[in-house]
Amino acid sequence: MAMADIRREYVQEELRRADLAANPLAQFNQWFAQAASGSRWRKIGIALYKLWPAVLGHTPVDVNAMVLATVDKAGRPSARAVLLKGADERGFIFFTNYDSRKGHELAENPNAALTFFWPDLVRQVCVAGTVGKLPQAESEAYHKSRPKGSRLAVWASNQSSVVADRAALDKRWNEMAAKFPGDVPLPPYWGGYVLKPERIEFWQGRLNRLHDRFCYTRQPDNSWKLERLAP
């Protein structure tokens, strides 16, 4: 089958304005909780839907995976999947290497966008805003919560740089394991970011491609304007 011919019909519950929270972050947390758990019958349906891929050994998508899009100072975009680690009134939180490609691009241009896609629920959330670093204390606390191997990897990997081979990467990790036999400190080049949203769009797939789309736009007084968009 040609790539352009791959399609499926979206048959799912509707999304109504009356169903939406006044605050988009509250709405996001509600949807995230549903994507992470869902009702008993939804879980059964999802389990049956995933049974065949599971037999084939396919790994399910992480529910907190999101595509982060950034642009460099020349306006050239790049995107990659990262993991959401928190969502509160400040915005959407993730952690990474400040010296990575995305770190350099965010330093050059703090405007960024996020996309969440939960195919089991036929839902998508698109977020746009500006990104800033979290306080070091918050990055430190999260760093300490990670498995030791992951903390060592932060020291071992000069993210986005060219490496000769896997052996060189493993060698560096072993060197860091020997250097830090006990506690693994937070590197100065690693920590958290928070994307402060200026626009959050909720998309619910519907029949005949007449999807439900609602967009929250931040107003000058930090309130949110909610509008339905054409699909």
Catalytic site positions: 209
| Three-class HEC string of the chain | CCHHHCCCCCCCCCCCHHHCCCCHHHHHHHHHHHHHCCCHHHHHHHHHHHHHHHHCCCCCCCCCEEEEEEECCCCCEEEEEEECCEEECCEEEEEEECCCHHHHHHHHCCEEEEEEEEHHHCEEEEEEEEEEECCHHHHHHHHHHCCHHHHHHHHHCCCCCCCCCHHHHHHHHHHHHHHCCCCCCCCCCEEEEEEEEEEEEEEECCHHHCCEEEEEEECCCCCEEEEEECC
